[in-house]
Amino acid sequence: MKEIIMPAQIFSGKTLAGEQIGHTIRTVGQIRDIFAEGVTLSESQARETAYVVSSYLPVDEGTAGGLFFGITELYPGKVGSEYYMTKGHFHSRKDTAEFYWGIEGEGVLILMDAERRIWGERMFPGSLHYIPGNVAHRVANTGNTILSFGACWPSDAGHDYGSIEQAGFAARLKEVDGHPTFVTP
Ligand code: F6R
Ligand code: MN
């Protein structure tokens, strides 16, 4: 008799649930160094949640040929004139791409290639983003509600946060006259 089983993980279209779903929380205090220098955070703002990543990693990190799936919920807010954003990273394996797609809220996907060329793509419910290999990616929430987006990436991609920690992105996305604007240092 051939069995038909229930999947152990459920993606409702908005949230991800199941035994194997992990959650990573980043507070504003934990990511304070990604924002422009010179802005002092209050203790209460430092304790705020900046974003939560729920992820389904069905194979070990580093496995060739596998896929990972994640949902990021990025809270609204600003540090100075800079929007709450993800840390951002290159993939450690340079030839690995990724899909992002907008689920709720609005924001901007900030992309930077190896030559430090920057561009942005608007994110909104239904937006679909192909992030090529060797392109750093970071998301900023430019709205007043939670920005939720999905991600699917190769299980051997790995994350290189160090390059961004050291050199940053070549431009910052700031609110200027009420609009998201790239500002170069
Ligand atoms: C995975 C990926 C996303 C991010 C998540 C949080 O490769 O790009 O799942 O990991 O949106 O952003 P970071 O990892 O930059 O803090
Ligand atoms: Mn990625």
3-state secondary structure of 134: coil
**pLDDT score for 1:** 85
Mind listing the pLDDT tens digit for each residue in 83-139? 999 999 999 999 999 999 999 999 999 999 999 999 999 999 999 999 999 999 999
Of all protein residues, the one whose alpha carbon is nearest to atom 16 of ligand 1 is 87
Taking the C-alpha atoms of residue 12 and residue 56, their distance in angstroms, rounded to an integer, is 14
Taking the C-alpha atoms of residue 96 and residue 54, their distance in angstroms, rounded to an integer, is 21
Residue 60 neighbours by CB distance under 10 Å = 9
> Is the CB of 72 inside a 6 Å radius of any atom of ligand 1?
yes
Mind listing the pLDDT tens digit for each residue in 9-19? 999 999 999 99
Helix or strand run (H / E) with residue 67: strand 67-74
> Is the CB of 107 inside a 6 Å radius of any atom of ligand 1?
no
Amino acid at 178: G
Ligand 1 mean position to 160 CA, how many Å?
Answer: 11
Mind listing the pLDDT tens digit for each residue in 23-64? 999 999 999 999 998 788 999 999 999 999 999 999 999 999
Mind listing the pLDDT tens digit for each residue in 153-170? 999 999 999 999 999 999
Ligand nearest to the CA of 53: 1
> Is the CB of 140 inside a 6 Å radius of any atom of ligand 1?
no
> Is the CB of 54 inside a 6 Å radius of any atom of ligand 1?
no
**pLDDT score for 38:** 77
